C-alpha cells in the first residue's frame, strides 16, 4: 500500500497543533460546540432556535427539518462565494484540471494565500443589502484546499500565511445578522487526495489527465476509495460540529459517481446523509440535480426543465461563465437588469437563485459585483420582487 508523502500532508495533525490552530483562528468554534450540544439531544426537541430560523421558531421546536424546508422555500435569494487558491491566478476554479498543473506545483499556491481583505462582515452586509437570506461558502473545492480548521490535513487556510479559519468568521457574521449559512463541499471529485476517484475507474472528469501520471495518486490495487470516504466524513463532521447552526450541506462533483450508476452503492450516500442529519436536526442536504433521491432540495446549474416535488435552487454566477475569479471577465460581469431577470426566471420554476461572486485574490469582492448587488437590493426594496415571467423580464410585483 502506498504511503502518503509529507508534502501531500493528509496525515492527521497532532492534537496540540490542531488545538493551537483553533485558538488562533476563532473563539467562536468553542461557542458553536455548546450550541450543538444543546441541540443534539435525543430525548426531546432542540432547545435553541438558530437565528436564521427565528421566524419559524414554533415549527422548529416541533419539527426542525420541516421548519428549515419552509424557510428554504421562502428564502428566494442567496449569495454563493467561490474563493480559494485558484483565486490567486484569476483563471477560474478549474485551472488545475484544465491546465494539468501537477499536484506539488499547485500546492505551492498555499504559500501566497493571505486572504488579506476577506471580510465576513462586508460579505454578509452585502448579502443583506441585496435582500438575500443566506450565504453559501465553498469550504473545499475540487483542489481539496480547505477554508476551515481541519484535523484531516494541513492543506488549509489556517496553515497558509492567512492563518485564518474563514468558515468560522463567516459563521459568526451570519449568526449575528440572521442569515443562513450553507456550506459547499466537493464530494465526488478531488484532485489531491491519493484515494479520491481516479480516471482508471471513474469518468466525469475525476482527475486531471496528467502525462506522465501524477505520482502521488494511488492506482490499481493500492487505490482505496474507502479512505477518501472516511476523510470526507470526518471533515463534514467537523463542519457540522464546530461552526454552529448550518442551513445546508451543498455537495458537488456529481458527474463522477454518475459515471457508474451501477456502483453508486460504493459511495455509501444513504449512510452519509443520515450521519449529516444526525449531527444537526435542521440541516438540509443537496447534491446538485439529485443523486440518490433523498436530497432535501435540488440545486442544478443555471437551468432546470423538469418537474420536481422537492424545493429547487438554481445556481448561477455574476461572471459570464466562471465561478472563481477570472481576470479575463473584467468589465463583463452581470448588471442589475440581468440579475433581476434571473430572479424572475427562478421564481417561475419556482426556485431560489443562488448567485455567485468570485472574490479577488486578496478576498475582497469585485467592485462590479458589489455595485450590482446593492442596486438589485435597492430595486427589490422599492419595487418588490420581480414577478415570474417566461420572458425573464423583471416585472416587479
**Cell numbers 432546470 correspond to what residue?**
304
Domain residue limits at 283: 15-383
Virtual CA dihedral for 340, 336, 300, 63, nearest 10 degrees? Answer: -60
Helix (H, G, I), strand (E, B) or coil at 186: strand
pLDDT for 47: 75
- Strand 352-357, strand 180-186: pairing: unpaired
Give the Cα separation of 328 and 92 in Å (integer): 10
Give the Cα separation of 193 and 188 in Å (integer): 12
* Average pLDDT for 236-261: 98
* Average pLDDT for 301-330: 93
Helix (H, G, I), strand (E, B) or coil at 123: helix
Give 40-51 pLDDT, tens digit per residue: 554 556 779 999
pLDDT for 107: 99
CATH number of the domain that 273 lies in? Answer: 3.20.20.80
Give 104-121 pLDDT, tens digit per residue: 999 999 999 999 999 999
Question: For residue 232, how far is the Cα from the chain centroid?
Answer: 14
Give 226-243 pLDDT, tens digit per residue: 999 999 999 999 999 999
Assess if residue 394 is contained within a domain: no
Give pTM, 2 decimals: 0.91
Question: ∠ CA(50), CA(278), CA(30), 5° rounding?
Answer: 55
pLDDT for 385: 97
pLDDT for 39: 64
Assess if residue 3 is contained within a domain: no
Give 52-84 pLDDT, tens digit per residue: 999 999 999 999 999 999 999 999 999 999 999
pLDDT for 303: 82
pLDDT for 380: 99
pLDDT for 360: 99
Assess if residue 179 is contained within a domain: yes
Question: Based on the structure, what is the number of domains in the chain?
Answer: 1
Cell numbers standing for residue 272: 452519509
Assess if residue 375 is contained within a domain: yes
Give the Cα separation of 235 and 219 in Å (integer): 23
Identify the DSSP state of 91.
Answer: B
CA distances from 143 to 87, 115, 138, 190 (A): 12, 17, 11, 6
* Percent residues over pLDDT 70 in the chain: 86
| Terminal Cα-to-Cα distance of the chain (whole angstroms) | 62
Nearest to residue 363, comparing CAs of 219, 175, 197, 160? 160
- Strand 313-317, strand 180-186: pairing: unpaired
* Percent residues over pLDDT 90 in the chain: 83
pLDDT for 389: 77
Confidence of residue 24 (pLDDT cuts 50, 70, 90): very low
Confidence of residue 307 (pLDDT cuts 50, 70, 90): confident
Assess if residue 2 is contained within a domain: no
Give 370-395 pLDDT, tens digit per residue: 999 999 999 999 999 999 975 444 44
Nearest to residue 10, comparing CAs of 287, 319, 222, 218? 218
Mean pLDDT of the chain: 91
Phi-psi domain of 370 (left: phi exceeds 0; alpha: psi -120 through 50; beta: other): alpha
**Residue 258, pLDDT above cutoff 50:** yes
**Residue 21, pLDDT above cutoff 70:** no
Confidence of residue 10 (pLDDT cuts 50, 70, 90): very low
pLDDT for 28: 52
Assess if residue 6 is contained within a domain: no
Between helix 367-383 and helix 336-348 the angle, nearest 10°, is 60
180: β partners: 134
Give 172-192 pLDDT, tens digit per residue: 999 999 999 999 999 999 999
Interacting residues of 281 by C-beta distance below 8 A, sequence separation 6+: 39, 40, 46, 64, 65
**Residue 355, pLDDT above cutoff 90:** yes
Assess if residue 388 is contained within a domain: no
Assess if residue 156 is contained within a domain: yes
Amino acid at each position: 500500500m502506498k504511503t502518503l508523502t509529507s508534502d501531500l500532508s493528509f496525515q492527521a495533525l497532532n492534537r496540540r497543533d490542531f488545538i493551537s490552530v483553533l485558538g488562533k483562528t476563532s473563539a467562536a468554534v468553542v461557542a458553536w460546540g455548546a450550541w450543538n450540544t444543546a441541540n443534539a439531544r435525543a430525548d426531546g426537541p432542540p432547545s435553541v432556535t438558530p437565528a436564521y430560523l427565528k421566524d419559524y421558531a414554533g415549527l422548529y421546536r416541533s419539527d426542525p427539518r420541516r421548519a428549515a424546508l419552509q424557510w428554504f422555500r421562502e428564502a428566494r435569494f442567496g449569495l454563493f462565494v467561490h474563493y480559494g487558491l485558484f483565486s490567486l491566478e484569476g483563471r477560474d476554479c478549474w485551472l488545475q484540471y484544465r491546465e494539468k498543473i501537477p499536484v506539488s506545483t499547485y500546492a505551492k499556491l498555499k504559500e501566497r494565500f493571505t486572504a488579506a481583505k476577506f471580510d465576513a462582515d462586508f460579505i454578509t452586509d452585502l448579502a443583506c443589502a441585496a435582500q438575500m437570506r443566506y450565504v453559501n461558502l465553498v469550504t473545499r473545492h475540487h483542489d481539496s484546499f480547505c477554508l476551515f480548521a481541519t484535523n484531516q490535513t494541513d492543506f488549509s487556510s489556517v496553515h497558509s500565511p492567512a492563518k485564518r479559519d474563514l468558515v468560522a468568521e463567516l459563521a459568526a457574521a451570519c449568526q449575528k445578522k440572521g442569515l443562513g449559512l450553507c456550506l459547499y463541499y466537493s464530494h465526488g471529485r478531488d484532485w489531491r487526495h491519493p484515494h479520491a476517484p481516479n480516471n482508471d475507474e471513474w469518468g466525469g472528469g475525476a482527475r486531471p489527465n496528467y502525462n506522465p501520471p501524477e505520482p502521488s495518486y494511488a492506482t490499481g490495487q493500492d487505490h482505496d476509495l474507502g479512505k477518501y470516504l472516511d476523510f470526507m466524513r470526518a471533515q463534514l463532521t467537523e463542519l457540522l460540529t464546530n461552526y454552529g447552526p448550518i442551513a445546508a450541506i451543498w455537495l458537488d462533483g456529481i458527474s463522477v459517481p454518475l459515471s457508474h450508476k451501477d456502483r453508486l452503492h460504493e459511495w455509501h450516500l444513504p449512510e452519509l446523509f443520515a450521519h449529516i442529519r444526525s449531527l444537526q436536526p435542521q440541516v438540509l442536504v443537496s447534491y446538485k440535480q439529485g443523486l440518490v433521491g433523498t436530497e432535501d432540495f435540488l440545486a442544478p446549474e443555471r437551468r432546470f426543465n423538469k418537474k420536481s416535488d422537492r424545493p429547487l435552487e438554481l445556481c448561477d454566477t455574476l461572471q459570464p461563465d466562471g465561478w472563481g475569479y477570472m481576470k479575463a471577465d473584467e468589465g463583463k460581469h452581470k448588471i442589475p437588469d440581468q440579475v433581476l431577470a434571473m430572479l424572475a426566471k427562478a421564481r417561475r420554476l419556482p426556485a431560489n437563485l443562488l448567485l455567485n461572486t468570485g472574490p479577488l485574490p486578496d478576498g475582497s469582492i469585485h467592485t462590479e459585483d458589489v455595485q450590482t448587488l446593492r442596486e438589485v437590493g435597492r430595486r427589490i426594496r422599492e419595487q418588490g420582487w420581480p414577478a415570474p415571467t417566461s420572458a425573464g423580464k423583471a416585472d416587479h410585483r
